[in-house]
Amino acid sequence: MSINIDTERAIELYKTLSTEELSQEADRVCRELYGERVFLRGLIEFSNYCHCDCLYCGIRASNEDVHRFRMSEEDIINTAVLGYERKLRTFVLQSGEDSYYTTEMLCRIVETIKARSNNEAAITLSCGIKSSSEYAELQAAGADRYLIRFETSDPDLHKYLRGGISLKRRLKALEDLKMCGFETGSGFMVGLPGESEETRINNALLCKSLELDMVGIGPFIPHPATPLKDSERYDIDMTVRITALVRLLLPEANLPASTATGTVDPLGREKALAAGANVLMPNITPKELKQYYLLYPDKICLDESGYECIGCLNGRVGTIGKKLTLERGDSLSGARRKKLQFSELNREESFV
Ligand code: SAH
Ligand code: SF4
């Protein structure tokens, strides 16, 4: 069977196969394109201040029990440079929506990390909604990728969960990011209260129609200090199945096996990697700060440095016949787009 499975067929497989069979299909597609490689990203959670009040999130503005922190510009840069010295080649800088970090500051951070990594490191930002001109400035400063999950494709549920902010606004942000030339990532949580099987399938279809380069999928884990504290906590099966469906729909995308997956099930990340995921994101935030960035409870690996985690992850991926790699790991769709633009540019030049 080829790697190009049409949408109807992918949904049929999703609806009819057991989780193990579906995972095998997705794994086959993933290996066809990415082989046994699992890309590593060094995650830096640099601020837990957020002006948003998403009902699901542990660091939402109204949670007064959170000990808030902000890393200085210098500390963010040094954390990434240390990662570069330890051979990591991609960094994800994530935060709440925190206007303390002006676009000018974020640009300076991106530019300095790029310069101090000999322009070898790819930088992904995950700092929420910004204006199209701000995204353009960040891209011009050298940021390569941007992640902003749409969370759920159900517009009413989205608005309810995100304190009145519409799904349309997040989708506009994704469109702006694409226009600026970012490798664009989005995704969703699995098991949100009010979600149905149809919502989950629509989530996967929305990923496909957005032609995403990266898709982050993780189980929703109710946080005790949020309005959703009494919501049901599901096991990992639904997340594994929908990860497999997204791999079938978007063969070329990079799909992380999220930390939340490993929180819900001790073997969650292995199960996601065996169902089409191909990325892991060890958390290299300074150890003393990690404990305060709790979007959800019971987060794993808080007592270890990200570098200790890499050793552990290496053993884990080995159990499913995969290998960690320190490459930049551009998504195949993003790389193809860049190549196209490059050849179009050359063509234009040859007419001059
Ligand atoms: N503020 C940025 C980035 C930080 S939040 C943003 O919202 O895009 C990163 C992701 O954490 C969110 O996109 C959401 O999908 C996830 N998240 C938040 N609360 C969660 C919870 N209780 N369980 C699982 N994932 C959660
Ligand atoms: Fe803020 Fe992101 Fe949490 Fe929403 S999910 S409250 S935007 S950090």
Task: Convert the pLDDT of each residue in 267-312 to its tens digit.
Answer: 999 999 999 999 999 999 999 999 999 999 999 999 888 998 898 9
CB count in 10 Å sphere of residue 183: 25
Note the pLDDT tens digit of each residue in 240-250: 999 999 999 99
More confident residue, 86 or 343: 86
In this predicted structure, the answer to whether residue 345 has a pLDDT above a threshold of 70 is no
Determine the residue of 49, 226, 295, 296 to mutate for testing ligand 2's pocket, defined as the one with the most ligand atoms within 8 A of the Cβ atom: 295
Res 344 pLDDT > 90: no
53 C-beta closer than 6 A to ligand 1: no
Tell me the pLDDT band of 126, cut-offs 50, 70 and 90: very high
**Buried b vs exposed e over 26-61: b needs ≥16 C-beta within 10 Å?**
bbebbbeebeebbbbbbbbbbbbbbebbbbbbbbbb
**182 touches 139 (CB < 8 A):** yes
What pLDDT, on a 0 to 100 scale, did the predictor assign at position 334?
Answer: 84
Residue nearest to atom 6 of ligand 2 (CA): 60
**Using an 8 Å Cβ cutoff, are 311 and 301 in contact?**
no
Handedness of CA 17, 18, 24, 26 (dihedral sign): positive
Alpha carbon of 61 to those of 53, 96, 146, 147: distances in Å?
Answer: 5, 9, 23, 21
Locate 224 and state its tokens. 């005790």
Q: 169, 295, 296: which to mutate for ligand 1, most atoms within 8 A of CB?
A: 295
Q: List, in order, residues 6 or more apart from 191 with CB less than 8 Å away.
A: 219, 220, 232, 233, 234, 238, 239
pLDDT at site 179: 96
Query: For position 339, what pLDDT does the model report?
Result: 74
Point out the ligand nearest to the CA of residue 173.
1
Q: What is the pTM of this model?
A: 0.96
Q: Hey, how many other C-beta atoms are within 10 angstroms of the C-beta on 337?
A: 17
* In the block, residue with structure tokens 């660091």: 59
First to last CA, the chain: 45
- In degrees and rounded to multiples of 5, residue 238 shows phi and psi of -60, -40
Determine the Cα–Cα distance for residues 43 and 197; give it in Å rounded to an integer: 31
User: Are 76 and 44 contacting, i.e. CB atoms less than 8 angstroms apart?
Assistant: yes
What is the spatial distance between Cα 65 and Cα 80, in angstroms, rounded to a whole number?
29
CA distance 16 to 139: 42
Q: How far is CA 135 from the centre of its chain?
A: 17
pLDDT greater than 60 at residue 346: no
Minimum mean pLDDT range among 25-34, 176-185, 261-270, 327-336: 327-336
- Mean pLDDT computed over 81-101: 97
CA-nearest of 312, 323, 289, 349 to 66 is: 289
Q: Given the structure tokens 């929420």, which residue do they identify? A: 128
Is the model's pLDDT at 90 over the cut of 70?
A: yes
Is-contact 236 219, C-beta < 8 A?
yes
Cα of 97 vs centre of ligand 2, distance in Å, is 7
Order the strands of the 37-40 sheet from edge to edge. 279-280, 37-40, 323-325
- Tokens 């990697």 found at: 273
Read off the tokens for 202: 């629509």
Strand segments, DSSP code E, in 110-167 are 122-126, 145-147
What ligand is nearest to the CA atom of residue 53? Answer: 2
Task: Indicate whether 341 pLDDT > 90.
Answer: no
pLDDT-derived band at 350, boundaries 50, 70, 90 = very low
